A and B are shown apart, each in its own frame.
Chain A
Amino acid sequence: NAGVTQTPKFRILKIGQSMTLQCAQDMNHNYMYWYRQDPGMGLKLIYYSVGAGITDKGEVPNGYNVSRSTTEDFPLRLELAAPSQTSVYFCASSWGQGVTDTQYFGPGTRLTVL
């Protein structure tokens, strides 16, 4: 199993450009998450999904959109990139959403907006 995979690993965007961060998992997990990690701030939840076709906002959703058309894929869309979106983005998945359901993280995408 590849686990959770993310592409690209690195990306530099200009202000106002758009892009999609890709995330895929091969563990047949129902739940998927997007986090951003800023220095000294821990990880903050952007969006999450409880299954194909169902998504919901996390703590910091502004400036982002998601979709979940399949169990495996959960892309994150940035429509008008801003310098405040410079961060490392992690996708994660879990079987369930119970407190003991482990979230498995991908390797991250480092995004710089100039």
Chain B
Amino acid sequence: QQQVKQSPQSLIVQKGGISIINCAYENTAFDYFPWYQQFPGKGPALLIAIRPDVSEKKEGRFTISFNKSAKQFSLHIMDSQPGDSATYFCAAIPNDYKLSFGAGTTVTVRA
């Protein structure tokens, strides 16, 4: 049973376009929402994260939008570049500190 639902499963975007990945959760005990980036053959690496008391966080071309009332959060990749082609996982951390991951979104940026 997936505690964090992620969509879409994959997306293709042109270079310079915007990639949007959405996640939804049910457990209101989640305290922190990180996003991980994974390149083929590598382990996931933390990309950006947000607390539920913040509605938006931006780091460079990556922005998390968080809607606490709807229990949804999303990752926006602005000005997508071929080097952004990877699998992105949203995650949520409850008060027992065990990460729950979404199923992942494979992003392909076409040059």
User: A residues within 8 Å of B by Cβ?
Assistant: 4, 40-45, 48, 58-59, 90, 92, 97-108
Contacts and interface: CB of A to CB of B under 8 A. Distances in A.
Nearest to B44: A105
Given A4-B43, A105-B43, A105-B45, A58 B98 contact: yes
A22 to B, nearest CB: 15
How would you classify the secondary structure of chain B's contact residues: helix, strand, loop or mixed?
loop
Q: Which of A41, A44, A99, A108 has the most CB of B within 10 A?
A: A99
Interface in B46-73: 46, 49, 51
A98 B43 contact: no
Contact of A108 (B2, B9, B43, B89): B43
Given A99-B31, A100-B49, A107 B97 contact: no
A42 B103 contact: yes
B101 A43 contact: yes
Given A40-B104, A99-B31, A99-B97, A90 B43 contact: yes
Contacts of A108: 41-43
Contacts of B101: 42-44
Interface in B77-111: 89, 93, 95, 97-99, 101-104
Nearest to B94: A99
A40 B98 contact: no
B36 to A, nearest CB: 8
Given A42-B102, A43-B101, A90 B44 contact: yes
Given A42-B104, A43-B101, A45-B98, A99 B43 contact: no
A5 to B, nearest CB: 11
Q: Which of B31, B46, B97, B102 has the most CB of A within 10 A?
A: B97
A111 to B, nearest CB: 15
Given A41-B103, A43-B89, A105-B43, 14 more contacts: A42-B89, A42-B103, A43-B44, A48-B98, A90-B44, A97-B97, A99-B95, A100-B32, A100-B49, A101-B97, A103-B46, A103-B99, A107-B43, A108-B42
Contacts of B45: 104-105
